Every structure is written in structure tokens, then in C-alpha cells.
Amino acid sequence: MGSAEPFVLSTRDARGVVTLMLNRPQAFNVLSEGMLTALQGELDAVAQDETARVVVLAAAGKAFCAGHDLKEMRAEPSLVHYEALFAQCTQVMLTLQRLGVPVIARVQGIATAAGCQLVAMCDLAVAASTATFAVSGVNLGLFCSTPSVALARNVPRKQAMEMLLTGDFIDAQEARARGLVNRVAAPDALDAEIESLVKRILSKPRVAIAMGKAQFYANVEVGIEQAYAIAGQAMACNMMDSAALEGVQAFIEKRPPRWGD
């Protein structure tokens, strides 16, 4: 595959399910500057698409993502360059969280360092039983500090620290047990498992999902009193939306809801 190929392949089905596929399999889909720029552009496009309902973040080849492009990083060893690179990566990660639609990671292979961070920043993750995960920068003398931000928000503290301090891999079942992924499926059943989640999400009103996702992440970053204040305001706004009014009315009338979208 030549360098002229897009870094990220984007497809969209009639339901509004957008699949973004990292497209540098020969380089293990590393988060080079080009990859980060392309991914940011695709995510920004989704953010502007009011008909988008779900994003599936996938990858071509055997690896999901092997983290940052270390060769590219070593080619320009300056603090200014590294600060800009990690700021660029952080912006991509935060964009995933701020999207108004759920993002599901489709993890078919290894996810290491910033690649593991990418999985952790998605709202949901489904892994093939053959997938493996690590924050292995420490093995190279580079502690995975930015990946640790996402990892510590998915995995219990001591388990996160063990991964960060040792750089050891965990398998898909262990990743599920620790909370890094939601579901594990055989490789040939991976897409079917993701589709089952997608269908469940699509059966819900888009606006309720968007409001709920926003308040969920706002809450987990603040104390409980502020969390309840945010949640109460969000639910009040949600309740004023036509979709919620229809859903409640349908419940009262004991009939299926008729969503506008």
C-alpha cells in the first residue's frame, strides 16, 4: 500500500453508522502526524453531520494501533516538536469523547501505548479474542503518561499502574475483566458482536444519546454534588425534548414509541 492511500478510510451506511478505518496496516496503524491529522478531520466531519448516529473506529491489517510513530518522533528530537505532537494527539482523543454520538472501538489486533489509549477513549470497545493490549512505553524508557490518563479512567488504579510500570501485555479476556473493553468475540464474530451493540443504540433517540453522553463525561470529572447538578440540568433539558416526551407518552399509553428520527 503506497503513501498516496488515505490514512483513514471513511464509510457510512444508510442508518448513519460511520466506520473510520485506520489505513496504514504495514506500519501497524501508528499515530503518525499524518494519521492524527486525517483522523481529526474525519472526526470533525462526523461532529458536523447531524444524521450520524454511531462511529465504529476500526483498523486495517493485523494490528489495531501500535501507538505513536517512534521513527518519526526520533527524526525531530525537540521539545517544541514533542509538545506539539502530544497536543495534537490529545485533541484527537478529546474529540472522540466530545462527539455527540457513541464511538465503538473495533479491536481486531494489538493495541499498544497510544493505541491502547485510543481504545480507552472510545465510549465502547469490542475486541477479538486474539487482541492484546499494553501500555509498553516504559520498556523503551518512555512512561506512557498520556495513555495513562485514559487508562486510569477505564481500569482500576492498581491494575492500571501494573500495566504502566511493567509494560506487560494483557489478553482480550483480561481487558474485559478489567473494564478496558465491553465485549470479546471470536475474530469471525467480531462484526456481528459490534452490530448487536449498534442496533441497540440505533433503537434509541439520537438526542437522548447525545445529551446522555455529554453529561456522563462531565459527571465523571467532577465531585458528586456538581455531578448531580449537571445531571439534573441535563435530564430536565432532555425531558423537554420531543423524543423524550414521545417516549414517556408511549410508556403511559403502553405502545412502542414513534421516534421522529
The per-residue pLDDT for range 38-69, each reduced to its tens digit, is 999 999 999 999 999 999 999 999 999 999 99
Q: What is the mean pLDDT of residues 241-254?
A: 87
Confirm whether 257 is domain-assigned: no
Confirm whether 1 is domain-assigned: no
- Separation of alpha carbons 92 and 2, rounded Å: 24
Q: How many domains does the chain have?
A: 2
Confirm whether 79 is domain-assigned: yes
Range of the domain at 243: 206-252
Per-residue model confidence (pLDDT) at position 141? 87
Q: Let me know whether 120 and 212 are in one domain.
A: no
Confirm whether 238 is domain-assigned: yes
pLDDT confidence tier of residue 238, bands split at 50, 70 and 90:
confident
Confirm whether 259 is domain-assigned: no
Cell of 43: 472526526
- Separation of alpha carbons 125 and 111, rounded Å: 12
Q: Let me know whether 177 and 246 are in one domain.
A: no
Q: Let me know whether 23 and 116 are in one domain.
A: yes
Residue 143 has pLDDT above 80, yes or no: yes
Confirm whether 211 is domain-assigned: yes
- Separation of alpha carbons 245 and 202, rounded Å: 18
pLDDT confidence tier of residue 160, bands split at 50, 70 and 90:
very high
Q: Let me know whether 196 and 114 are in one domain.
A: yes
Q: Let me know whether 29 and 127 are in one domain.
A: yes
Confirm whether 43 is domain-assigned: yes
Per-residue model confidence (pLDDT) at position 105? 98
Q: Let me know whether 194 and 227 are in one domain.
A: no
- Separation of alpha carbons 196 and 243, rounded Å: 23
Looking at residue 254, its amino acid is K
Match 495513555 to its residue by C-alpha cell: 147
* Cβ neighbours of residue 93 closer than 8 Å, sequence gap 6 or more: 117, 118, 121, 146, 150
Q: Let me know whether 59 and 110 are in one domain.
A: yes
pTM here? 0.92
Per-residue model confidence (pLDDT) at position 46? 98
Q: Let me know whether 155 and 140 are in one domain.
A: yes
Q: Let me know whether 105 and 168 are in one domain.
A: yes
Radius of gyration of the chain (CA): 19
Residue 1 has pLDDT above 60, yes or no: no
Residue 27 has pLDDT above 80, yes or no: yes
Confirm whether 210 is domain-assigned: yes
Question: Which CATH number fits the domain that encloses residue 228?
Answer: 1.10.12.10
Q: Let me know whether 187 and 210 are in one domain.
A: no
Q: Let me know whether 227 and 177 are in one domain.
A: no
pLDDT confidence tier of residue 3, bands split at 50, 70 and 90:
low
